[in-house]
Chains A and B, each alone.
Chain A
Amino acid sequence: MVYIAAHNIISPLGWTSEENFQQVVSDKSGIKLCSNRNISDSDFQASLIDEGVLKQKLAEHSGLENYTKLEQLSILSIKSIIKSVDVKSKRTGFIFSTTKGNIDQLHKHTNPSDVLLASCAQKIADYFGFTSKAQVVSNACISGLAAFIVAKRYIDAGLYENVVILGADVLSKFIVSGFQSFQSLSAEPCKPFDTNRNGLTLGEGVASLVLSRATNETSSQTIELVNGAIRNDANHISGPSRTGEGLFRAIQATLKDFKSIDAICAHGTATPFNDDMESQAIYRSGLATVPVFGLKGYFGHTLGAAGIIESIISILAMQKNIVIGTKGLLEQGVVSDINVVKENETKEITEFLKLMSGFGGCNAAIYFKKHG
């Protein structure tokens, strides 16, 4: 059995998972109108990590001056979760999930190797002294869930006892202008599954998590990563399948014949097509009555970190038996009739499903179970 041993989230909402969770259940959002001209020529809605707060945090940790912002945040996040893990053991793996890594350094034309994802992962790994080879997964917006799935496969295959997974992306002109060119950014904070949703909101965040193989000493009260699967739409490289084909197949492969899910954390980007597609896939999977929520209204879309940030919030929601309200949702308006939750609800959550989809037609589902 593979279980979640430790975790951390750094976002505008806080510097620990618990801080982030408390802000989320108190209906706080990191999204606001930003006018950072290094990132966009016009004002834009986003959830950005405050530079001043980062500076303060860095002042408490010397020796991080020569790292990029993404690397600094990554190191600070991992530092807080690895106390119980022997990182120098060959039996401890490290997986880095990102879409664009240090792409914000590309315009500086300094050392091109700075922007190579494997170099960035190695730099972070070397800081802690990992002796296993750093692995990078870059699968667009499903990268975070892909990291969970790869880690579980490595542990199941006996390659590692523990795997540290890290998800990180920071916003830059490169990323923001790209989504602007796709006309997919909403002028207002995003409204997942809402009838008036009009696009996504980007966010910055870094999250890390330790996945471990359960031993006799493992507490009986744990969250298990039971299964996960990735499937492709085989339809279009940017537009999601209208029928939710890949996501439907990912859910089928993850749950097999099991249908007793207590809650679902959807991708819920708030683009018209994504949310319709997800509603189709959930409906087709026979999960139409299961409470569904989305977290993009709190964090924005944090890209390569999203799968990990949203999974950690979901894990805490499972432990505290809270179905989180979908911030930004006023009136549900998706093509298939599913049960998207507006306000926080108390509910016993034992079995849980997390979904993500992304460019390249990729879709991922992972399935958590609470023990004890």
Chain B
Amino acid sequence: MDNIQVIKEVTIEQGKVKINGLDFFHDESLEIGPFLKCLYKKLDLKYSKYYKMDYLCKLGFLASEVLLNGENDILTDSDDVAIVLANTSSSLHTDVKYQSSISEIPSPSVFVYTLPNIVIGEISIRNKFYGEHMFFVQSTYNKTELLDYTATLFASGSCKQAIVGWLEVDMEGAYCANLMLCQKNN
């Protein structure tokens, strides 16, 4: 893992957003819906696709916005940025929502979010990232393991930068995010 360098880290949990361990934003509403709404407002974004996303995508999208905000050297519109994400619950929160819609009329706009890798698509669309990407599902967050995997991407020349980390929304809506911006350590 010597060839990988974490240059920025964003953590979101229990209503708090931290950048490199320092407080960036916090909101009293701990529940995921209202909290994400406040964070979206705080970031002053105008992105109509955001409203259509499920919670996992909203969380990942906002975390990536905080992570990339102010970073001018990001290689957008290229194959050079990899995205490697993981969580425990996959898309279970939305799976439950979709399951309950089946008995009436199944909703296509809910069904499309019953895959965990959709969030990678959302971040890619926003930033024109065409690069290598992967979604792992794991019982617990193992940061080293994800960074090790990303290191193999740097080693094989598959990417020059990477967004790596954990995005979890469980069945009850409990959430946490930890995203790292990585580059090759020369």
The answer to whether any beta carbons of A and B sit under 8 Å apart in the complex is yes
Contacts of A245 in B (CB 8 A): 130
- Tell whether A138 pairs with B130 under 8 Å between CB atoms, given A106-B99, A116-B90, A231-B79: no
The reply to whether B134 and A237 form a contact with Cβ atoms under 8 Å apart is: no
The reply to whether B130 and A231 form a contact with Cβ atoms under 8 Å apart is: yes
Contacts of A136 in B (CB 8 A): 136-138
Q: In the complex, which residues 68-101 of chain B have their Cβ closer than 8 Å to any Cβ of chain A?
A: 79, 88-90, 92, 95-96, 98-99
Q: How far is the CB of B130 from chain A (nearest CB, A)?
A: 5
Contacts of A129 in B (CB 8 A): none
Contacts of A350 in B (CB 8 A): none
Chain B contact surface mostly: mixed
**Within the assembled complex, what's the spacing in Å between the Cα atoms of A360 and B133?**
11
A235 within 8 A of B: yes
- Which of B107, B115, B129, B136 touches A140 (beta carbons < 8 Å)? B115
- Which of A121, A140, A153, A361 touches B149 (beta carbons < 8 Å)? A153
The reply to whether B99 and A234 form a contact with Cβ atoms under 8 Å apart is: no
The reply to whether A139 and B135 form a contact with Cβ atoms under 8 Å apart is: yes
Q: How far is the CB of A8 from chain B (nearest CB, A)?
A: 23
B116 within 8 A of A: yes
The reply to whether A156 and B133 form a contact with Cβ atoms under 8 Å apart is: no
A232 within 8 A of B: yes
- Interface residues on chain B, size class: 35 or more
Stretch at the interface among B6-14, B152-160, B173-181: B152-160
The reply to whether A138 and B90 form a contact with Cβ atoms under 8 Å apart is: yes
Residues of chain A having any CB pair with chain B under 8 Å? 99-101, 103, 106-107, 112, 115-119, 121-122, 133, 135-140, 146, 150, 153-154, 156-157, 159, 173-174, 177-178, 180-182, 229-238, 245-246, 249, 253, 358-362
With A137-B136, A182-B108, A230-B133 given, name 6 new contacts (CB 8 A): A116-B90, A177-B106, A178-B106, A232-B130, A359-B121, A360-B121
Residues of chain B having any CB pair with chain A under 8 Å? 79, 88-90, 92, 95-96, 98-99, 102, 105-108, 111-112, 114-118, 120-122, 124-125, 127-139, 145, 148-149, 151-153, 155-156, 158, 171
